[in-house]
Structure formats: C-alpha cells, structure tokens
Chain A
C-alpha cells in the first residue's frame, strides 16, 4: 500500500521553503516529487534595472553563504563584456577570498552534517572553528558575510603584510583542526555508521543527472570547474580534485573535508606568490552588445551566470543557475528507495541553498494515480497497525 506524504514548504526538517511529496511504502520511499518556487525573489528581473556596478552587490545577495561565488561569477562575465582585464594581484586576492569562502562553507556544512547525524558536539566544534575563517574574511573585506571585495576590474581592497601573516596563522590553526576532524570522522563508529550507505548515487546516475560539486565528486566523477575549465588563475596553483567512490553521504563528507585541505593549499600558494602591483583597473560604464557564460566552482558545485549586454549601462539579461538547482534531479533519484528517516541527511548532503536556486524553473516528477494527503499522526497509526498485523521482517536488504 502506498501513501503520499507531503513535506514542506514549511517543515521543521527544512530550513528553507521547498515542497517534497513522497510516495512511501512503509518506511521506504518509492517516489519523490520536488516542487520549487516558494522563495522566488525576482532577482533576475531586478538585475535588468541596475547598472553593472550595482549588480555586483545584487548578485552577491543571491546567497548568504556563497555570496562571493555569485558575485565573482557575475564579475568574471561582466569583465569579459566590458573588455577589461583585472591586474594579477587583483585576481589573486579575489580567488583568495573564494577559497576562504569555500573553507567557511565546508566547515559550516560539516557542522550541519554532524547535527543531522545526531553528533552535535561535532557541530559545535566545527562552527567554533569556522569563526577563525569568518574573522579573517572580516579583516580582509570589512564584513563577515557579504564581503563585497569584487569590483569591475579587480578587487576593492589590498592586503598588507600584517594581514597576510594573520591569514597564514589562521590557516595553520584551521589546518590542524581539520586534520583532527578527518581523524575523528574515521574513528567515530557512530558517525560513520549513520552516514555510510545513506543516499546512494552511483557514478552513472551522477553523470546521467548532471550532479555537480561534492555530490558528483563523492560518486567518483572528478568534475571541478577549477580544473576542467581553469579560468585566469587556477592553472597557476597546484591542487587536486577531491573525490570519493563510496557514492553516499559519507563520501560527500569525506570529499568536503578533503576539499578543505585543497583550499588551505591554494590559499597558502596564493599568499606566498602574491604578485605586486595595483589591485584594480578602471572599468568603463557601458558594455558593447554581446553575451557571455561565466562558470565558477562554488562550494556547492558549478555556478553559471549567463549575461547579455546591449550597449547600455545595464545588462539586458542575467540568468543564474545555482548549483543546488543542478543537484535537484539527482536528489529526487536519491530519495527514491531511501528511508523516510534519512531525508534530512540526504537533503543536508546536497547542502541545499534553496533561495539561491529559486529561479522560474520548475521540476516536477509527475505521477498518475490517486493522491492522498496524510498527516504524520495518521501515518504513524497505520504503521503501528501494520506492525501489529504483520511482524516486521528481520534482515531487510537495503532497498536498491
């Protein structure tokens, strides 16, 4: 017997509004249906009414966690349209902030994963250590969340020697802490036991559903814009693509911790070979009619901005494809054949940023047949009844 359970748009397990409709058989999810659009903010339309320079701050506010990702993605594209080339020092500083942001985002995610897996100590510690990188970002840019370091043709602030030393010190602290978490992750049996085998996405599925970011990399797909499409700077530093082949939430955790180390490596290289010179060039106010696709590896995966200019001070069109949106098809696939109790973990593992992904796109896995909406209490009653009539099977195979 199949039941439909609606979860969201408002639900304690979800931090942002999204609607999931699940068809369940007992505790096993047979079908999932994702509905978006509860947090549409009309940002793309607003971008058409703002000038190039104003749009940097607008795109920065697409997301609160990966704010620099969106701003950088937009600025990369806008610089091509305005036909300017930022100076080397500006580029280095821009991607230094990018990597520091990746560190902060992954530490935040590790905390969330710990929290969802019932390991709240881990959550407390990672979030405490995240403050180190947040303080560094505040010192560099003047703000903790919206760094606003980008400008057309470079960055807005320079780095002095004392700050450079402070960043290196902060990175050393974070490195030892991350090593500790990596060790703990491998040693804590309850943590591994909760994450292993949850939310399986095979390599083939990850490729079929175009998963991006740590989601794809945890399934053994070594896809990273920084390596595959090295823009301006990433071919000058050495780093590896962090992958795992366990194809589950455990793999996604491991990938993120490994990426932390890669980011420390990149940051150190940037700081050691920071070129001298100006940090920005003057940008024109108007762009010739043209179009550009800008790609950027955000902490959550590949971020795409498509920008069209029409010769005026404002872009004609801005289209944002946030990484969370690209991961939704794979999430629907993961949810099928999973357990209800694993939903928060599966959802946490894609690191969803729902308000980033809310464009005017809808993704509906339609299903024929009757739909019934049940309350959780009804469901529990039915589940209890089922257990009374039919004793639960032991040795139930993982439903794949």
Chain B
C-alpha cells in the first residue's frame, strides 16, 4: 500500500501529446475494408435481387421501370441502412461485385428523405466467370447517381 500510486503515471502524461485529436478539423483515416456506405455499379447489376432479399434493414428497393426495356430502378435508403455489408456478400456478380461499400461515414443529414440514393439502369446480362470484367467498372456512383429526393 502506498499513497498516490498513480502519481508517477500522471506526471509522465504531462509531457505526452494528447490521446485525442481535434476531430472535425483533423481526421483519422478509416482502415482498409471499412464498411461505409453501399453503392451500386449499375452497369453490372443483373437484378437478381439477392441484396434486396438479404438486407436485414430493408434498405434496398428494386423496382421495374420499364418491363420491355428491362429497365430497373434501385433505391438505397441510407437512413435505414445499418452498414452490415450483407448486400455485398450476397451479390453474385463476378469478378466485380455490383454492390460495394465505400469509406464514407460522415453521412448525417437533416432530412431522411435526402439520404436516398437511386440508380436507374438497364439490366446487365449475367456474365460467366471466364470473360473479362465489363468495361469501366471504376467511377461507380458519380455518373449514374441522381438524388431521388431532390
């Protein structure tokens, strides 16, 4: 037993830099494989609806826009999304998954209806594993995205 056994540790910490960071101004990068926000590579989606079926939060909604053209609309309700990435696991497309997660995590908003993200696209044909990936799987969300709420 001794009095103030914590004191040496306390004094040592006077000369250390703070354990916290100045959050909104400085940010810690998220680790590799971080589960952020889901998005769709609409050009490879085969509309199997596995993601819609397996989503525990019912955040994914796929509706048919034009039956003849095989045109579909997918809406991801980011207000309901629980960021479990089950949609990515369920997605059967190879070699690139049509559903993916980005590292976006500062996604708070004032209106839940603004948090929707939607894609309208023509169904892709299921690919065999052998042929190469469809052209330009990069830049996924940017060009095809439109805000449904706006």
Chain A interfacial positions (CB closer than 8 Å to B)? 50-51, 53-58, 61, 121-122, 125, 128, 131, 135, 138-139, 142-143, 146, 148, 151, 156-157, 180, 183-184, 187-189
Contact = CB atoms under 8 A, between A and B. Distances in A.
Nearest to A185: B5
Contact of A57 (B19, B30, B82): B82
B5 A188 contact: yes
B84 A57 contact: yes
B3 interface: yes
Contacts of A148: 35, 84-86
Contacts of A156: 85, 89
Which 8 A-B residue pairs are closest in the complex by CB-CB distance?
A54-B56, A57-B56, A187-B5, A142-B35, A148-B84, A139-B31, A128-B19, A57-B84
* Residue of B2, B34, B55 with most chain A CB atoms under a 10 A cut-off: B34
A138 B82 contact: no
> Which secondary structure characterizes the binding site on chain A?
helix
Contacts of B56: 50, 53-58
> Which secondary structure characterizes the binding site on chain B?
loop
A146 B82 contact: yes
B85 A142 contact: yes
A53 B52 CA distance: 13
B24 interface: no
Given A156-B89, A187-B1, A146 B33 contact: no
A128 B19 CA distance: 7
Contacts of A157: 33
B2 to A, nearest CB: 6
A153 to B, nearest CB: 12
B123 to A, nearest CB: 24
A51 B89 contact: no
B85 A53 contact: no
B23 to A, nearest CB: 14
A109 B34 CA distance: 26
Contacts of B32: 139
30 contacts: A51-B53, A51-B54, A53-B54, A54-B55, A54-B86, A57-B56, A57-B57, A57-B82, A121-B6, A131-B19, A138-B34, A142-B34, A142-B35, A142-B85, A143-B34, A143-B35, A143-B83, A146-B83, A148-B35, A148-B84, A151-B89, A156-B85, A180-B9, A183-B5, A187-B1, A187-B2, A188-B5, A189-B1, A189-B2, A189-B3
Interface of B: 1-3, 5-6, 9-10, 19, 30-35, 53-57, 82-86, 89, 101
Nearest to A124: B19
A128 B57 CA distance: 32
Given A148-B85, A184-B6, A188-B5, 17 more contacts: A53-B54, A54-B56, A56-B56, A61-B82, A125-B9, A128-B19, A142-B31, A142-B35, A142-B85, A143-B34, A143-B35, A146-B83, A146-B84, A183-B5, A187-B5, A188-B6, A189-B3
Contacts of A138: 30-31, 34
Nearest to B34: A142
* Residue of B1, B6, B54, B101 with most chain A CB atoms under a 10 A cut-off: B6
Nearest to A189: B1
Contacts of A51: 53-54
Contacts of B83: 143, 146
Contacts of A146: 82-84
A183 to B, nearest CB: 8
A183 B2 CA distance: 11
Nearest to A162: B32
A190 B135 CA distance: 68
Contacts of A189: 1-3
A128 B5 CA distance: 19
A189 B2 CA distance: 7
Contacts of B6: 121-122, 184, 188
